[in-house]
Structure 1
């Protein structure tokens, strides 16, 4: 977009649960995995085309009313972080902001720019990324465009909510908004399986200048990539494995070009451990239930894509054997190999974190009654070397959001091996009906 998109906040209020939280639920116990995560806000933005049958005031009222009812079930999200062990479920509520943008939705969708989304947040993300000092666990902004289009930004505190938990919440909220028949009820049982500990090891959080870009892979290109990375060891790599290997290799190449030399590399891949916990957690379990498997690459090796896929498969196999048990014994959700732990602590390695919500029905879950989103995204303005994979809105391709240092990104986005398979930040309008944008 050539001109700035101005956003004007019209109203700001606190949405409390429709019914008071019972006294016996007022002190919510965090799990070990909750403890490990920093209380930073993680944001998700859902973009909707206009519904000519519903006005902005009606939409906002439906959002607030259904949010209040949903918070009754998700009562910790209406509370405040008390300490490293608990949330005070005091019903202070979630923050809700109503705002208006001076532009049209299609202007953003023509060439999505994450920097333009900063004003779609209910707070200054750069200045206040942490839900501390009594801040809300959940902060939401509904931004209405001149065309009637809508952006709903959901910011949740990572101290309690992981990607699956967010999907459960959104599904429950939208079902309530649509007055659906199938009620979505959360289960808060993670602390019984992963009890809190005095000696937990927090995730490393290094806030630094970052640059994000979006890369889209269509089905044909993904199939071609999978064929190229297949080997005798991994004859049928998954779509996510193939893309993870490609992004990892190109990110390492960008770091090497920027620094002028190679460094050892570690790739952390987030996995949902609900099904592998002992006993397994229910599918509707809300709370952090993610651990990280680690794949390693030496600075002395020039890995092929096949090598990196094999490294990922090996890490998965090792984790399945005893990884979760070992991590929990160490009060951590990631395990840095001893061979490079010293370099890791001195920040002398290239460390990348991958997260995937491919095949998770976010688009289907986010229908409040005026249709599925035409686009959704997960802005990241804080942490470099973070890669998120998700489905395109037509379900036929995969979008990858890559956040690197500005210096590394300058090399990464020009990598010819990457561009042989990816399209850099294409218009969403190519697979979206534009009549109401």
Structure 2
């Protein structure tokens, strides 16, 4: 059993942009999608093995210097949320914390524990759902391990920053850090990443927006990994005349949805309808399309419906997902702009939804998003990238494994549902429950405790 990890905060400061934000950019307008989105922090955590060629004090200096330069371009990230319509770009800065962990990175990677990730946050877990007015838009913690390993938590205010925006920011930050180090072999390290702040033009803010329903319920989390061969088996099993080539994300989503429905049915003692809501990057499907590097919430929610029927198969649910995506592609974005509501509840289920008589599941995917390739500060790519700090129950987050071939899924369910979900035999025939990320038993690294204490 992995021992408890103790993390000691060494420094806490605000990193300000290297150059002041011009006066005409000081009042940043939110978009309709920003207004609607959950008011929470979402933490993306990047874990790195020790690199003997770079000292911990050099890492610290490089992170802070490159962050300051990057914030000049991402100036709203250094501001504070003013209200439901705007951010004050006052250069207060991003909160930046450095900490020291008493353990070894290999201990976590051998048996990943999602609860331990909370110690890498730059705030207490009890604050996790609070990302409101006056709070930093960006909070970062760099945690150094005894072995020289490193965890960097990038915690973003969801009122401005979606998953794609995180990727654009990390891409820019790491490119700046690599250029500063002048030691990276990665090509195009000087290629500048310029964010486009245009979402409010495409999706104007509204006085009458409808916030996403937010239910902060007791939630447990577990991690499941599907390797490439198992995903191929599932795709072959689920393929049909109607959907001959289901995607990897479609088949895993349908399988997980089916198993979650079964767990709910067993706990309730009866079947009830369910909805699965799928976050979809709409930059490419907007008319006209948004730039790929646009920053801001540009996410649509595709809503698929399932009955409470016990004999509903994974194949049935894949078809439901495919139909829902086709429907959204036709008129989904236009409906959002007209109703000021990000997702649509079928009229036949509206009353049950209002009475909490349906199961409601949310799926988010970063599959095929190159987090591993982007997040090299000059000391190598991360060995693991994960998401932490979601406080929403009935949530499933799909991410690439570090080899780019498999998919890992973080499952956030009530304790009662998760206890049944993780014993589902159909699920376990394709998934491995929380396997090691990789074997680091032979890795070595210098003890950084004394270096950090003397240099920070």
User: TM-score, normalized by length of structure 2?
Assistant: 0.94
Counterparts in 2 of 1:35-46, with a 5 A limit? 35-46=35-46
- Per-residue deviation at 1:322? 1.0
**Structure-2 residue corresponding to 1:244:** 253
CA contact (8 A) 1:39 1:157 kept: yes
Q: Which residue of 2 aligns with 1:95?
A: 95
Q: Which segments of 5 or more consecutive residues in structure 2 lack a partner in the other structure? A: 180-188, 446-456
CA offset digits 1:1-23 (Å, max 9, x no partner): 43210000000000000000000
Q: Within the alignment, does 1:307 sit opposite 2:288 as a pair?
A: no
Q: Which residue of 2 aligns with 1:177?
A: 177
Deviation at 1:376, TM superposition (A): 1.0
What's 2:145 paired with? 145
Partner of 1:269: 278
**1:127 aligned residue:** 127
Shift of residue 153, structure 1, vs aligned partner = 0.4
Task: Name 1:340's counterpart in structure 2.
Answer: 349
**Could you say what the CA RMSD is over the residues aligned between the two structures, in angstroms?**
1.2
Contiguous gaps of at least 5 residues in structure 1: none
Q: How many residues align?
A: 436
Matched, 1:186 2:192: no
> Following the alignment from structure 2 to structure 1, what is the Cα–Cα distance between the partners of residues 36 and 442?
43
Q: What is the deviation of 1:38?
A: 2.6
Asked if structure 2 preserves the Cα contact closer than 8 Å seen for 1:51 and 1:436, the reply is no
Residues 211-269 of structure 1 show CA distances to partners (whole Å, capped at 9, x for unaligned) of 11110011110000001111111011011101000000000001111111111100001
Q: Is 1:212–1:380's contact at 8 Å kept on the other side of the alignment?
A: no
2:7 aligns with 7
CA deviations over 1:139-178 (Å, ceiling 9, x no partner) = 0000000000000001000000000000000000000000
Q: Secondary structure at the match of 1:156?
A: strand
Secondary structure in structure 1 of the residue aligned to 2:438: helix
Q: 1:405 aligns with which of 397, 411, 414?
A: 414
Matched, 1:28 2:36: no
Please report how far the alpha carbon of residue 124 of structure 1 lies from its aligned counterpart in structure 2 after TM superposition: 0.8
Q: Who is 2:213 aligned against?
A: 204
Runs of 4+ aligned structure 1 residues displaced above 3 Å come to none
Asked whether the equivalents of residues 33 and 342 of structure 2 are also in contact (C-alpha less than 8 Å), the reply is yes
Who is 1:167 aligned against? 167
* 2:52 pairs with 1:52: yes
Post-superposition CA distance 1:117-157 (Å, at most 9, x none): 11111101223432224111110000000000000001000
- The one of 219, 230, 248 equivalent to 2:239 is 230
How many Å separate the matches in 2 of 1:427 and 1:147?
18
